[in-house]
Amino acid sequence: AQSVTQLGSHVSVSEGALVLLRCNYSSSVPPYLFWYVQYPNQGLQLLLKYTSAATLVKGINGFEAEFKKSETSFHLTKPSAHMSDAAEYFCAVSGGTDSWGKFQFGAGTQVVVTP
Amino acid sequence: DADVTQTPRNRITKTGKRIMLECSQTKGHDRMYWYRQDPGLGLRLIYYSFDVKDINKGEISDGYSVSRQAQAKFSLSLESAIPNQTALYFCATSDLGGQSDGTQYFGPGTRLTVL
């Protein structure tokens, strides 16, 4: 079985400050990990993904995430927040022959960016 | 044009009515999924299909049914809608190919309100 925990349902950051969104996972096999972003009234858009290559993954809009197996984490960061980063962010895990192709999503983290 | 489309985008209906949500994709993917999104719960899988002849229940399939009419079309039905089915519904697709990492691509969503 696999599961995802996102710490913090709401995060408020100042424009220009570091954005850090936490994601921890559990999986019985090496996972594939994904971060998606959902802007208001839109679907989910892929930000970045870890698929067993480099552990530091760079995505769109200046975001990156680091896979840490020892900590079972895949935290999302951006050095300097922009107003346009206000959105909801979802971490997801997939993997294993019994769950290949199926995602388990975290509950999401709503990011608010203040001027 | 969008790769994954959903119709309708918004629907208000009454308790007991039958509702069908439709999803079409032009990505040529074999796998299709239906999720519902509720605040604080993330996305939960309702049904998924790995090819036209393959339909599988997800974690919350009760009260829902699906039809995979073609590789490109996957419909979700609520036979007798109830108010707690009020939610945002997403369709997604992913590739089955050997080089695929299972990334899922989402439609824009259907906002369903059951009165």
Reported as a single tens digit per residue, the pLDDT across B6-22 is 999 999 999 999 999 99
Nearest CA in chain B to A10: B40
Nearest CA in chain A to B4: A43
Map residue B32 onto helix, strand or coil.
strand
Q: Answer whether B109 touches A (CB < 8 Å).
A: yes
Distance CA(A61)–CA(B64), nearest Å, equals 37
Residues of chain B numbered 38-97 and touching chain A (CB < 8 Å): 40-45, 48, 50, 58, 90, 92, 94, 96
pLDDT at residue A96 is higher than 60: no
Q: Report the first-to-last Cα separation within chain B, whole angstroms.
A: 33
What integer pLDDT is reported at residue B99 of this predicted model? 62
Residue from A93, A102, A105, A110 to probe the interface with B (highest B Cβ count within 10 Å): A102
Nearest CA in chain B to A90: B42
**Average pLDDT estimate for B47-66:** 93
Whole-number average pLDDT of chain B: 93
Distance CA(B63)–CA(A33), nearest Å, equals 30
| B63-105 pLDDT per residue, tens | 999 999 999 999 999 999 999 999 999 999 998 666 667 889 9
**Average pLDDT estimate for A65-93:** 95
**Cβ B90–A44 below 8 Å, yes or no?**
yes
**Cβ A103–B104 below 8 Å, yes or no?**
yes
Please give the residue that has the higher pLDDT: either A52 or B78: B78
CA distance A103 to chain B (A): 8
CA dihedral A41, B88, A38, B23 (to 10 degrees): -90
Distance CA(B33)–CA(B56), nearest Å, equals 10
CA distance B115 to chain A (A): 21
Distance CA(A103)–CA(A96), nearest Å, equals 11
Nearest CA in chain A to B99: A51
Bridging pattern class, strands B10-13 and B110-114: parallel
CA dihedral A78, A79, A83, A85 (to 10 degrees): 0
What integer pLDDT is reported at residue A88 of this predicted model? 96
Report residue B40 CA to chain centroid gap: 19
**Average pLDDT estimate for B15-31:** 95
pLDDT at residue A103 is higher than 60: yes
Distance CA(A28)–CA(B89), nearest Å, equals 29
pLDDT at residue A58 is higher than 80: yes
